[in-house]
Structure 1
Amino acid sequence: MLEATIDQSLHNKVPSLKFGMISYHHIAIGASPQMIQGRIRYFQEVLAVSLEEKEFTDFEGIAAWRDVFKKLGISASRYRPSHEALYRRIKKGDFLEAPHSAIDLNNFFSLEYQIPVGIYDTTHIDGPIQFKMGDAGESYDGLNGRTFSAEAKLVSADNNGPFGSPIVDSTRTSVSADTTEAIQIFYLNPNLSLEEASQLLERAAQMFTQVHGGVASWKLIDV
């Protein structure tokens, strides 16, 4: 398991901020099983109906992360937390189609737990990992096809700089069907208790390995 720390400046602004990290070894990524595809599709259909009657901020996880962005000085209207962006797609009827099973489950966890979740190929991470605010001039090629300016944004970084964020992740550490070693980062709802956060990570790890095989270990980073 890679070491991970939270920069003290983040705790000063959001004392309850916490992250979860699951490390996967010897996994096999491919097309999602029909059962998983059906479950994810049904979840999105139910969510779409709910979104017809609710505002985005009626969802506690979206409201919580908007508050985190506000406290960190990030504009939540200009830079959407990734889980809110997924909710907005579904509200428009643009249901999520993933290229493989790892992204399918990553999206499902993000929707179900109402938090940003990222999955990364461990072989492209030069640890340790630090959760911090991006420095001036830091940027990376985002999975959305655009250059992401990490400056003054919450990011996950290794020795080579930022590679992920609760906004958009980098192409440098993206997973593919060839990935066998991965880590998943959960940008947890700060309102969760440590027990609730631990249970969430344990459930996610079990579901992921049921689909992909391999072994998983997880830890909570809150200091």
Structure 2
Amino acid sequence: MKIPPFSIDEIIRQRCPNARLGCLLMAVKVAPSSPELLQFIQKELTHVQEKLVLENIHDLPPLHAAREAYKSFGKDPSRYRPSAEALLRRVVQGKGLYQINNVVDALNLVSAKSGFSIGGYDCGKISGDIRFGKGEANEPYQAIGRGVLNIDGLPVLRDEICAFGSPTSDSQRTMVSASTHYFLVVFFDFGGHPSVKEAMGELEKMIADFSMGALLDQKILM
């Protein structure tokens, strides 16, 4: 099984010329996070918390680039926060990360450590080719944990049905569940940062170690 065909719309290339997507496709066994995984996550979050203060989160290069990309589309990044920023704010404030399942918890940790917003999708719920473009006015989008999200002006992923992912929040339609077998991961890299490869490798290893995951395909789309 391979990553579905991807394309990047011209408006993304014009507004965010350095934007690229780091993609992993993994076979996984979704389950509640083990005590070992939760202990590992807490240990890593302690290191993140020691290094950052709330006022300096925006200085992380991947997060700074994402915020600038939002501004280029006229979207306020403080109102529609990139998901990595929302996670980091929780960590720095001592609130920790939400506990969802083994694959999503691993994804959220790598996002908080790296500063990249990362989308995680049930590949079996994606229909046809995928396009990376801009959300339109009144385009329907049910975000996980927050209901209707106004994606007008937000960078989004679309398949043949509708938008299903964004750096702010993924959609309910393609969310990961206990029945997910193929996990598609998308790193939103708006600055062409070399560190995305390291972050992709870290997430791959975590999922292999804690979710019996097997890498099926990977690529960086520019």
TM-superposition CA deviations, 1:140-160 (whole Å, max 9, x none): 111123201222211011011
Give 1:32-181 correspondences, 5 Å limit: 32-52=33-53, 55-181=56-182
Q: Distance in 1 between matches of 2:71 and 2:196?
A: 22
Q: Distance in 1 between matches of 2:170 and 2:54?
A: 31
Change (3 A) 1:67 1:47: same
8 Å contact kept, 1:201–1:218: no
**Structure 1 residue 36 displacement after superposition:** 2.2
Give 1:180-199 correspondences, 5 Å limit: 180-193=181-194, 196-199=195-198
Instruction: Provide the residue aligned with 2:211 in structure 1.
Output: 212
Question: TM-score normalised to the size of structure 2?
Answer: 0.90
Aligned with 1:182: secondary structure?
A: strand
**Structure 1 residue 199 displacement after superposition:** 4.3
Q: Distance in 2 between matches of 1:124 and 1:113?
A: 27
8 Å contact kept, 2:110–2:199: no
**Structure 1 residue 52 displacement after superposition:** 3.7
Aligned with 2:180: secondary structure?
A: coil
Q: Distance in 1 between matches of 2:14 and 2:111?
A: 26
User: Which blocks of at least 5 consecutive residues in structure 2 are unaligned?
Assistant: none
8 Å contact kept, 2:70–2:76: yes
Q: Distance in 1 between matches of 2:134 and 2:98?
A: 31
Q: Distance in 1 between matches of 2:95 and 2:32?
A: 20
Question: TM-score normalised to the size of structure 1?
Answer: 0.90
RMSD, aligned α-carbons: 1.8
Change (3 A) 1:53 1:94: closer
**Structure 1 residue 69 displacement after superposition:** 1.5
Aligned with 2:164: secondary structure?
A: strand
TM-superposition CA deviations, 1:178-212 (whole Å, max 9, x none): 2111211111252414xx54444344223322322
User: Which blocks of at least 5 consecutive residues in structure 1 are unaligned?
Assistant: none
Deviant stretches of 4+, over 4 Å = none
TM-superposition CA deviations, 1:1-29 (whole Å, max 9, x none): 2111110111111111000111122x211
**Structure 1 residue 63 displacement after superposition:** 1.6
Change (3 A) 1:53 1:7: closer
Q: In structure 1, give the amino acid aligned to 2:207.
A: F
Q: Distance in 2 between matches of 1:172 and 1:96?
A: 22
Paired residues in the alignment total 219
TM-superposition CA deviations, 1:65-116 (whole Å, max 9, x none): 1122122322111111110011111222211131210111110111121110
Instruction: Provide the residue aligned with 1:221 in structure 2.
Output: 221
Q: What is the percentage of aligned positions where both structures have the same residue? A: 26
Q: Distance in 2 between matches of 1:197 and 1:50?
A: 20
Aligned with 1:87: secondary structure?
A: helix
Q: Distance in 2 between matches of 1:197 and 1:95?
A: 23
